[in-house]
Amino acid sequence: FRLVSANTLYEEITEKPVSECIGKTLIEVLPRYVEKQLKVFFQNCLNEQISQESEMVIERDGVTRWWRIIASPVFSVGDDHKRVINTCIEITDKKLLERQLNITRQRFQAVIENAYDGIITIDEKHTIKLMNEAARDIFGVSETEVLGSSLNRFIPLRYRTKHSEYVASFRGSAVDARPMHSRVAVTGLRADGSEVPLEVAISKIRVGADTEMTAVLRDISERARLIDELSRAATQDALTGLYNRRFTTGILSKELERCRRFKRNMGIAMIDLDDFKKINDTYGHIYGDAVLKIMAEILSKNVREIDTSCRWGGEEFIVLLPETDLEMAAAWAERVRKVIASAHVKSHDGQAIRVTASFGVAATNGEGHTLETLMQKVDKALYSAKENGKNCVCGL
């Protein structure tokens, strides 16, 4: 192929004056790698007798330029196609922009996929358009099975209606995003059917005529577990699982106020294991702990839902009995005392040890009693039970 004619702009390709290129072959005016590509390109145009389009890269002195090349056969007498008209359009800026866009896309994808938090994007129909690796790990799914599916599969059934209403409300609001410090806690549904507590921040973005929403998720299972443990530690005795003294004191204060306000009765029992120090000294503290756990189990099995069992401290326990007068409280205490006396706890050598407890009971309608005076009263009753030989009930 020889260059027959060209405009001056073609010098952008040859980097030589057009006048010097006329009549010369491609290899004489273009780099070999360009000449080879154009020779095949032009020959295909003639062979197929139709216009051809492709792209060409020319690099000179470290500068790279991209061109869109179009070749069309030129019809001559007798339909002998021996000439080709070649049009070249520089697309360097477009290619550089595409390259930068691709780099940005790759960077974005790397950030999304390697983010510690889960990220999910949905469209207006709640179809999942993006779900990063962290989110897939949270819900226990793979990328292939999740894209194109509905977000509802990751929401427990009882929350789906409310969630859909919330998403619709957010889409129509003037707020484009909820910042990270405004995260809300929600519950997600894993692929295996288990639920997971999540912290969520959401945002929305216009994509053409549609609105897509992106949620940033954080699995707070460990935090929820720690909060639960702290909550239990604040209310429960670690050894027995009963309420602790601090929490029960609050309940007792409220019950006293309720009795005073509505003129209702409340019974209270203080229980002390007899000779517990001797048990610890003889059989050890591990055995002593086992006795306390059995004591707590007996109390838990012998109270109503409205009653409150508490480890008051050491080997002392408190039971609050709402809607109970002194006679009823004493009857309850006697019944539980017999249960405890009939129980036997085996020592480390298999020996069955009999354990007993003393009960002090009192009752109040709230009038004339404060928390302190009521506790003094029931403590005095317990002291009387101890003075009367232990393993008995004494009421004041």
Helices 276-283 and 285-301, packing angle to 10 deg:
140
pLDDT digits (tens, 9 = 90+) for 69-110: 999 988 765 655 578 899 999 999 999 998 888 888 788 777
Q: What is the CATH number of the domain that holds 249?
A: 3.30.70.270
**Dihedral of the alpha carbons of 366, 367, 372, 374, in degrees to the nearest 10:** -70
Q: Which of the four pLDDT bands, split at 50, 70 and 90, describes residue 180?
A: very low
Q: Are residues 307 and 264 in the same domain?
A: yes
> Could you tell me if residue 106 is inside a domain?
no
Q: Which of the four pLDDT bands, split at 50, 70 and 90, describes residue 145?
A: confident
> Could you tell me if residue 189 is inside a domain?
yes
pLDDT, residue 181, reads: 46
Mean pLDDT over residues 140-167, rounded? 88
pLDDT digits (tens, 9 = 90+) for 236-272: 999 999 999 999 999 999 999 999 999 999 999 999 9
> Could you tell me if residue 364 is inside a domain?
yes
Q: Are residues 90 and 185 in the same domain?
A: no
Q: Are residues 156 and 181 in the same domain?
A: yes
Mean pLDDT over residues 358-372, rounded? 93
- Structural domain count of the chain: 3
Percent of the chain with pLDDT over 70: 96
**Among 61, 96, 131, residue at a domain's last position:** 96
Q: Which helix (H) or strand (E) holds 102?
A: helix 92-114
Region of 191 (left: φ > 0; alpha: ψ -120 to 50; beta: rest) is alpha
pLDDT digits (tens, 9 = 90+) for 303-312: 999 999 999 9
Mean pLDDT over residues 294-305, rounded? 95
> Could you tell me if residue 15 is inside a domain?
yes
Q: Are residues 278 and 370 in the same domain?
A: yes
Q: Are residues 72 and 125 in the same domain?
A: no
User: Which residues are catalytically annotated?
Assistant: 315
- What long-range pairs does 278-285 form, CB within 8 A, spacing at least 24? 279/353, 279/355, 283/347, 283/348, 283/353, 284/348
**Among 189, 223, 257, residue at a domain's last position:** 223
> Could you tell me if residue 107 is inside a domain?
no
Host domain of residue 58: 8-96
Q: Are residues 251 and 378 in the same domain?
A: yes
In this predicted structure, the answer to whether residue 182 has a pLDDT above a threshold of 70 is no
Q: What is the CATH number of the domain that holds 219?
A: 3.30.450.20
pLDDT, residue 80, reads: 58
Q: Are residues 147 and 74 in the same domain?
A: no
Mean pLDDT over residues 322-341, rounded? 96
Q: Are residues 180 and 244 in the same domain?
A: no
> Could you tell me if residue 231 is inside a domain?
no
pLDDT, residue 211, reads: 83
Mean pLDDT, the chain, whole residue set: 88
**Among 96, 131, 166, residue at a domain's last position:** 96
